[in-house]
């Protein structure tokens, strides 16, 4: 690999000590970014809710290739968005990275992002995985699938998200609470695909068939299936990948007893969401920010970016990992992901109306 000699580059990770990996976000309050200096300085400041070692390694590779230093501030997405809003034009942040389109949409909606124009990005990130005004770009794709007990459920019994509301699954469905933006985005996609009335009937049907009041995160639903509390969990694919590769043997054991099913393959497709990134409205290092997104969407980075967290690459020229390939290919919903943000408020309203806790 060609190494430039200008700087001994490094990534300054300004997260608090003891950060704990909790899915896509940390529980740590965000620290202050290093001063970016003038617009000429070779730096890019990132606010991110993806607390993954892979991201940090990729930032290091970016610095090695370009000489542009990456300053990273980690935090929960809502806190980072609030912080961007509070800091206004004085913010040091050039990029916002979040693990869900709903949050990127929220940032855009609040006027915190700006359009990024780049032929490389337009080539690397398909149109349906980026904002219609190019204010955010998907970097990794996650599918929200059905995970089932291989002992008690045959894949032939499964078909669609809609089928989960059939009385035959009464007391068998496990899914986390309506405060999860993943579920909000799932329902938002149904509003886009099927209209509001059908989306509401579906949400009501899920509540009626729940095995228990929603609690825990995605991995807890998988564990509850194996504990016999229910038969089918609605969850994101990468959590199963994380469990299969976990340092905790119990998680591995649970995951091995579970099957993955991509619903709606003969109808509207499986729901997908993205982890993505947008250039902040007040970015002082816009060129460097765009260079970093270009790098993260490149073939080389996409492979690492997606594989380490068992996600699907956003860049269609990059193959998914062997584990993901072993689950088979699938047809995703064909809506533009902007819809997930546009319909978020309505989805939350519906969940409240039908009593999805």
Count of chain residues binding Fe ion (CB under 5 A): 2
Per CB under 5 A, which of residues 131..150 are in contact with Fe ion?
none
CB of 53 to Fe ion, least distance (A): 15
CB of 60 to Fe ion, least distance (A): 23
278 binds Fe ion (CB under 5 A): no
CB of 217 to Fe ion, least distance (A): 8
97 binds Fe ion (CB under 5 A): no
Site string for Fe ion, 105-134 (x = CB under 5 A): ------------------------------
Nearer to Fe ion, 23 or 102 (CB): 23
214 binds Fe ion (CB under 5 A): no
Per CB under 5 A, which of residues 15..34 are in contact with Fe ion?
23-24
CB of 187 to Fe ion, least distance (A): 17
CB of 250 to Fe ion, least distance (A): 20
CB of 76 to Fe ion, least distance (A): 12
3-state secondary structure the chain: CCCCCCCCCCEEECCCCCCCCECCECCCCCCCCCCCCCCCCCEEEEEECCCCHHHHHHHHHHHHHHCCEEEEEECCHHHHHHHHHHHHHHCCCCEEEECCHHHHHHHHHCCCEECCCCHHHHHHCCHHHECCCCCCEEEEEEEEEEEEECCCCCHHHCCCCHHHHCHHHCCCEECCCCCCHHHHHHHHHHHHHHCHHHHHHHHHHHHHHECCCCCCCHHHHHHHHHCCCCCEEEEEHHHHHHHHCCCCHHHHHHHHCEEEECCCCCCCCECEEEEEEEEECCCCCHHHHHHHHHHHHCHHHHHHHHHHCCCEECCCCCCCCHHHHHCCCCCECCCCCHHHHHCHHHHHHHHHHHCCC
Nearer to Fe ion, 157 or 180 (CB): 180
Nearer to Fe ion, 153 or 188 (CB): 188
Nearer to Fe ion, 232 or 235 (CB): 235
CB of 50 to Fe ion, least distance (A): 9
Nearer to Fe ion, 181 or 203 (CB): 181
Q: Indicate the residue whose CB is closest to Fe ion.
A: 24
Give residues in contact with Fe ion (CB under 5 A): 23-24
């Amino acid at each position: 690999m060609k190494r430039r000699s200008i700087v001994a580059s490094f990534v300054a990770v300004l997260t608090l000590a003891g950060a704990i990996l909790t899915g896509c976000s940390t529980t740590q309050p965000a620290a202050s970014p290093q001063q970016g200096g003038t617009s000429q300085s070779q730096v890019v400041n990132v606010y991110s809710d993806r607390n993954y070692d892979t991201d940090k390694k990729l930032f290091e590779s970016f610095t090695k290739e370009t000489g542009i230093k990456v300053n990273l501030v980690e935090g929960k997405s809502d806190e980072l968005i609030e912080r961007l809003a509070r800091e206004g034009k004085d913010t040091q942040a050039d990029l916002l990275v979040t693990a869900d389109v709903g949050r990127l949409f929220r940032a855009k909606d609040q006027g915190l992002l700006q359009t990024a124009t780049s032929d490389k990005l337009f080539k690397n990130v398909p149109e349906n995985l980026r904002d219609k005004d190019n204010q955010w770009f998907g970097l990794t794709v996650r599918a929200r699938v059905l995970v089932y007990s291989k002992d008690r459920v045959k894949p032939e019994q499964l078909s669609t998200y809609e089928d989960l509301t059939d009385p035959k699954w009464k007391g068998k469905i496990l899914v986390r609470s309506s405060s999860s933006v993943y579920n909000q985005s799932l329902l938002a996609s149904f509003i886009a695909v099927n209209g509001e009335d059908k989306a509401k009937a579906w949400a009501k049907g899920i509540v009626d068939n729940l095995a228990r009041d929603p609690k825990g995160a995605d991995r807890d639903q998988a564990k509850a299936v194996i504990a016999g509390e229910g038969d089918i969990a609605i969850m994101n694919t990468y959590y199963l990948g994380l469990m299969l590769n976990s340092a905790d043997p119990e998680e591995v054991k649970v995951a091995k007893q579970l099957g993955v099913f991509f619903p709606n393959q003969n109808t509207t497709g499986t729901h997908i969401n993205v982890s993505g990134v947008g250039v902040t409205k007040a970015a002082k290092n816009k060129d460097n920010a765009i260079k970093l997104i270009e790098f993260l969407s490149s073939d080389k980075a996409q492979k690492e970016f997606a594989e380490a967290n068992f996600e699907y690459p956003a860049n269609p020229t990059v193959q998914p990992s062997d584990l993901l390939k072993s689950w088979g290919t699938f047809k995703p919903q064909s809506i533009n992901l902007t819809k997930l943000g546009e319909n978020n408020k309505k989805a939350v309203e519906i969940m409240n109306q039908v009593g999805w806790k």
